[in-house]
Amino acid sequence: MNKENTHQIKPELKNALAKVLLERIPTSASQPHLQDLINILLESLSRGEIYISLDESKPPTEVKAPGWPTEHLRAIKQSGWLEQSTSPIILENNRLGWYRWDYEMKGIIKDLIKKSNQRPKLAIIEVDKDAIKSTVKLNSEQLLALESITSHNLVLLSGGPGTGKTSTIVEMLRKSLSIDLELRIGLAAPTGKATRRLQESLQSSIEELNPQVKDKFYRIPCLTLHRWLKANERGFSKNETNQLDLDLLVIDEMSMVDISLMRGVLNALPKQSQLVLVGDPNQLPPVGSGAVWNELLKSQNQEILGSSRINLSKVYRNRGQIALLAKMIREDSFNVFWNQIQNLPLSSNVKSHSQKKNSMPSFLLEKLKAKQAEIQKILSNSLETLNTVNTYPATINNPEFDNTIKKLLKTLEELAVLCPRRFGLWSVEHVHQALLGNSLEEGVMHWPEGTPVICGENQQELGLSNGDIGVIFGSNNERRLIFRVITEKQTLEPKLIHPSRLRKVDPAYALTIHKSQGSEVNDVVLLWPDDSYICDQQIKQDKRNENYDKSLMYTALTRAKNKFDLILPEAQSN
């Protein structure tokens, strides 16, 4: 199951690449086995993974030649492809990868390890220890994170949902500002959705701070990494010669950061600046190439990073069966998870449903229609206020309008429908086709009022990022899209935008699991079109990328705060 079907590598490209390698470095080694390895490497790259393990006993989907992995390892060693100075492939510890990406990844890890050994600016400032002592009760892991802010120039904070990452970040920043109130701090995440959630989470957690620190906290800029780096068609305007004016940068949702973005950050961040990286290692790898976060957390790097790497394991938010199943995915085999799904108690906040895959579940469509009706009711009750302020694209400073937006956003955050695929059965497109019919292809001006929409590209001039969710309001020439944007004053404010201003906009009744990263909602419904869970079809299961499927399921499951519905295909009778 790929991220999205559009990312699947065409067989012609795989064959052409193998042919070029064979022409450049002729070999007598088994060509079918080498072709398998090329296919696996390319498919892995399409999932953001730059390495494949030749220790895995289960053959990946792309394997056609017999004898995995022994014969494949023998073929690549005999090929001569690893011995040439111009070879594009490397093999280390039975891990195969592309030389280019391996070179970039190793450079990033080397620079980050070097940064972890530097003393931070805060370490050389004399302070009153009582003044910076935390007034919040922290566990031993969180206390280690708090100590690290004055001892390491690189801090890695990992943990799953509900482990207190947000409260730990707040305390780390509070301590930093208590030492130096003029510290130049920046907050960042890979997507607009994750950035808004980070800012809202932090600002809702600072009520106990003293007024001076709280005021400074509210003014900390929170931007996407692309906005920090001033991304453009040629790359990043912020770089080695035009660096960020920051003493400390905190990056959340690190699992979504790829090699290109991480290199951009390291180039643009002054060498003496402190870097705090935060994330969940069990979520999906980035869409781009190279899962930097997962590479950093590998055992050999953990040993080198030492006390600069802190893992939060104690869960504070009780999510019932959601939390237990997430733990199973992390710590056990995927089969254990599937067995548990089939034997859930009636009282569980996780439920599985069987449905014929060629039809859309009626209860799901009813849920979505009910949500849209609720949105339409809010818009109808606020029609006079909305018409009064219908002056796009300026942000709106109107208490009644702001209250309407809060109601809309709360309604949107009550339900998320997720799909592993963008196209095909039980995909994002399938959901939208079932709800919008022919109007789906006609565009945003033809979709019903109250339809949730998603911005498909970064548009800094509008304050929008790829993945931002909005709602359609009005009709005909009065039609507008309502979004909430982060202003230059670091406040979240509503904005009315004419649909023609957006370069790409799609319906958002359903999202791919990738698009949902960085968000949390009360109720998640996941359409899971794969049927390998149904019985012990060992051969079929062996042909799948189980680790990737586990990441998909874990990411979808952990978006839910209170309830998770999993829709699975019915077993087909012979």
DSSP one-letter string for 156-189: EEEE-TTSSHHHHHHHHHHHHHHH-TT--EEEEE
Task: Give residues with Cβ within 8 angstroms of 142, minimum separation 6.
Answer: 164, 167, 168, 171, 312
pTM score of the predicted model = 0.86
Residue 528's nearest CA partner among 547, 506, 554, 503 is 554
pLDDT in tens, 451-462: 999 998 888 788
Distance CA 167, CA 392 (A): 36
Q: Is the pLDDT of residue 236 over 90?
A: yes
Please give the CATH topology (third level) of the domain spanning 321-569. Rossmann fold (3.40.50)
Task: Specify the residue for token string 């997507």.
Answer: 191
Mean pLDDT of 307-314: 89
Q: Is the pLDDT of residue 446 over 80?
A: yes
Q: In the prediction, which pLDDT does 543 show?
A: 41
* Number of Cβ atoms within 10 Å of the Cβ of 245: 9
What are the domain boundaries of the chain? Answer: 11-93, 104-312, 321-569
In terms of DSSP bridges, do strands 521-527 and 560-569 run parallel, antiparallel, or are they unpaired? parallel
Distance CA 478, CA 401 (A): 17
Domain 104-312 identical in fold to domain 321-569 = yes
Mean pLDDT of 217-223: 87
Q: In the prediction, which pLDDT does 158 show?
A: 93
In terms of DSSP bridges, do strands 231-232 and 235-236 run parallel, antiparallel, or are they unpaired? antiparallel
Higher-confidence residue of 384 and 7: namely 384
Query: Looking at the DSSP assignment, which residues form a beta bridge with residue 568?
Result: 354
pLDDT in tens, 40-50: 988 888 777 88
Confidence of residue 214 (pLDDT cuts 50, 70, 90): confident
Contact of 554 with 329, CB cutoff 8 Å: yes
Instruction: Average the pLDDT over each of 283-297, 350-364, 475-489 and give the range with the smallest value.
Output: 475-489
Mean pLDDT of the chain: 84
For residue 91, the SS3 value is strand
**CATH code that applies to domain 104-312:** 3.40.50.300
pLDDT in tens, 57-100: 778 888 899 999 999 999 999 998 887 677 789 998 889 998 88
State how far the alpha carbon of 559 is from the alpha carbons of 3, 19, 273, 516, 555, in Å. 17, 43, 32, 7, 7
For residue 154, the SS3 value is strand
Confidence of residue 10 (pLDDT cuts 50, 70, 90): low
pLDDT in tens, 397-435: 667 777 777 788 788 888 999 999 899 899 999 999 999
Q: In the prediction, which pLDDT does 393 show?
A: 43
Q: Is 176 exposed, middle or buried (0-12, 13-18, 19+ CB in 10 A)?
A: buried
